[in-house]
Structure 1
Amino acid sequence: MMIRRLGLGAAFALAGHLAMAQPLLHAVGLENQYANVLEQIGGPYVKVTAIQSNPNTDPHEFEVTPSVAAAFHGADLVVENGLGYDSWADKMVAGTNAKVLSAQKLLGLPDSTPNPHLWYRTDTMPAVAAAAAAFFEAKDPAHKAAYEANLQAFDASLTPWKQEIAKVKASFAGAPVAVTEPVADYLLHEAGLKIMTPFSFELSVMNDTDPSPQDVAKEEALLKDRKVKLFAYNVQVTDPQTQALLALAKKHDVRVVPVYELMPASAKNYQDWMLQATVALDQALTAAGAK
């Protein structure tokens, strides 16, 4: 009987532990990279939903469905990118009582900021993580220590990425590169690389408008004449023109580095994704003999 009583006691203790670990809050990340950071900060106490999470689709063609709308039900916190990137969610967010954190606003960026791909900046996710942790702590003070510990661990985990950026900059600062659109421009700039693609071309591709013939000619010449050391190609947003540029880069042996707008399945988490992307730059530049 004693053994059985101990067994029941252990079972009750385990059940109590599991009950305590049930999510107390619901957070929504409009893109999976933001959702991933929320998961890391919230741990077992926060249920996190990612709305856009398929890296094989064009995020600009995202369509709101009833199931998407339902995902916002009961949300305590919604994290958006801002700068019009995820304005499709405005009406649904307005219909909730959720607190909204905008990466744009956390960074103090004006609406006129031309490049919305903020997650390629090293200061974006630390700001998002800190704001999320503060919100979770205010709503769930019983687990404040856990949220703070998770925040510290997340910030520390970004160190390898920042070190890799510094390594690329030290070795290849000023190396010329081409891109299809400004997806990874923040990372390229921080690594000290020189983007040769006309910015007007990048914006045209991003906004799904036709670039000028002059911009197209300049972009093609960068690849044909091998004036750049690598070509950062957005694999999520493609059209006949960008596909033709990809073929041109391969034909003239320009190193191609694929970049994503949503976190790919190959990444364990956000920081691993950014580290992978930066290592890919390092490897491509090394292979190209950039100096």
Structure 2
Amino acid sequence: MSLLRPFSLLLAALALASSLPASAAERIPVVASFSILGDIVANVGGDRIAVTTLVGPDEDAHVFQPAPDDIKAVSRARLVVVNGLGFEGWMERLAQSANYRGDIVIASAGINARERVGDDDHGDHDHDDHHHHGKDDPHAWQNPQNVIVYTRNIAAALAKLDPAGADAYRKNGEAYVGKLQELDRWASQQFAQIPDARRRVITSHDAFEYFGARYKVRFLAAQGVSTDSEPSAKQVAALIRQIRTEKIKALFFENMSNPKLLQQIAREAGVTPGGKLYADALSRAGGPAPDYLALMRYNVGQLLEKIRLN
């Protein structure tokens, strides 16, 4: 009987090992394109994966230029997760430079994409293919219902890569979906208290169309979908007139955008800026938006405070 006990312990150890990633000493390396997506991936993957984010907190993916460390991270990854919808115009060349041969998961696959507010409406710009978005607005994460789709796509991709962890990814994903649904209900209730006519906001660039459609908020922006677009003087003047005519008081900078243009507009329109919104990137640790759920709650609070003044 005593001889069977070590054998039983060995079997138990083998069973445990089979439920862990291939190398128990190392989590599965996964690369996410930008900080918001990296947080979503981490919530689904849990302690089975190690997430590297290419475009970090408070950084702008629209003007991102990969560095040698980014090439190394992609070359070592077993899975790369991107937003899609043309957001990462630099990813194809980065994957080629890294000689990456794994799957590239498009987190937004299956959502009902909104057509972007054309950058052509914001003046003549010289966009190269590196940052061009195409016809779809890529900022789909601004609607929590879309992030539910992201979450399930990521869970499915991780389960395919690591079948032993499929149940863990499913459970993690559904737990996160529950938090997203709670967030969405809360945000809807908050905006329901504000008359539609007051739900008007000025931002740096067109990053909030999905948010606006979900919560019936009208966003006007100085720039187009990409932060590397430049509006004409005529368009800036028209926006200033509109702010004055409609008496819009809710004007916000974005954490990853240059504030100079919006500062000029605020001065000329006689509006006091309402602070900062987190559009395309999380805050750094210790800031008000270190994860996606906190980002959305913070933005809703900021918007409501100013919208009530309209």
| Category of TM-score, reference length = shorter chain | 0.7 to 0.9
| Matched letter for residue 66 of structure 2 | V
- Relative distance call for 1:102 and 1:108 in structure 2 (3 A) is farther
Q: Which residue of 2 aligns with 1:213?
A: 233
Preserved contact between residue 38 and residue 132 of structure 1 (Cα < 8 Å): yes
Cα offset for 1:203?
Answer: 1.6
Q: Kindly provide the CA deviation profile for residues 97-117 of structure 1, in whole angstroms up to 9, marking residues without a partner as x.
A: 221112343326487434222
* Amino acid in structure 2 at the alignment position of 1:140: D
Instruction: State the partner residue of 1:42.
Output: 45
What does 1:26-65 align with in structure 2 at a 5 Å threshold?
26-55=29-58, 57-65=59-67
| Structure-2 separation of matches of 1:114 and 1:24 | 34
Separation (CA, whole Å) in 2 of partners of 1:213 and 1:24: 51
- C-alpha distance in structure 1 between counterparts of 2:239 and 2:106, whole Å: 34
Letter of the 1:191 partner, please give it.
Answer: Y
The change in CA–CA distance for 1:22 and 1:280 in structure 2 (over 3 A counts) is farther
Q: Does 2:153 align with 1:131?
A: yes
Between Structure 1 and Structure 2, the one with more helix by share is 1
Percent of aligned pairs with the same amino acid: 19
Q: Indicate conservation of the 8 Å contact 1:231/1:257, yes or no.
A: no
Deviation string 1:152-181 (CA, Å, 9 cap, x unpaired) is: 110011133212321233122342222221
Give the alignment partner of residue 184 of structure 1, picking from 188, 208, 211.
208
**Secondary structure at the counterpart of residue 228 of structure 1:** coil
Tell me the residue number matched to 2:261: 241
Distance in 1 between residues matched to 2:143 and 2:135, nearest whole Å: 14
Shift of 1:24: 4.5
* Other structure's SS at 1:97 match: coil
2:187 equivalent in structure 1: 165
The answer to whether the 8 Å contact 1:183/1:259 transfers is no
Letter in 1 for 2:47: P
- Counterpart of 1:31, as a letter, is F
The letter of the residue matching 2:109 is K
Q: Distance in 1 between matches of 2:25 and 2:197?
A: 50
Does the 8 Å contact 1:183/1:234 carry over to 2? no
Q: Which sections of structure 1, spanning at least 5 residues, go unmatched?
A: 1-8
Distance of 2:227 and 2:85 partners within structure 1: 13
Deviates more, 1:43-52 or 1:218-227: 218-227
| Aligned residue pair count | 268
Q: How does 1:56-135 map to 2 (within 5 A)?
A: 57-94=59-96, 95-107=99-111, 109=113, 112-135=134-157
Q: TM-score, normalised by structure 1?
A: 0.80
Residue of structure 2 in register with 1:6 after alignment: none
Q: Distance in 2 between matches of 1:38 and 1:130?
A: 10
Contact kept in structure 2, 1:29 and 1:38, CA below 8 Å = yes
The answer to whether the Cα contact below 8 Å between 1:22 and 1:45 also exists between their aligned partners in 2 is no
Look up the equivalent residue of 2:92 and give its one-letter code. D
TM-score, normalised via structure 2 length? 0.75
Amino acid at match of 1:166: S
Which moves more between the two structures, 222-231 or 146-155? Answer: 222-231
CA RMSD of superposed structures (Å): 2.9
SS of 2:224's partner is helix
| SS at 2:76 equivalent | coil
On the 8 A contact 1:224/1:248 being kept in 2, the answer is no
Match of 2:118 in 1: none
Q: Does 1:203 align with 2:199?
A: no
| Alignment CA distance shift 1:217-1:156 (3 Å) | same
Tell me the CA shift for residue 90 of structure 1. 0.9
Q: 1:182 to 1:169 in 2, by over 3 A?
A: same
Q: Which amino acid aligns with 1:206?
A: T
Deviation at 1:78, TM superposition (A): 1.1
SS in 1 for 2:50: strand
Structure 2 partner of 1:3: none
Letter in 1 for 2:100: T
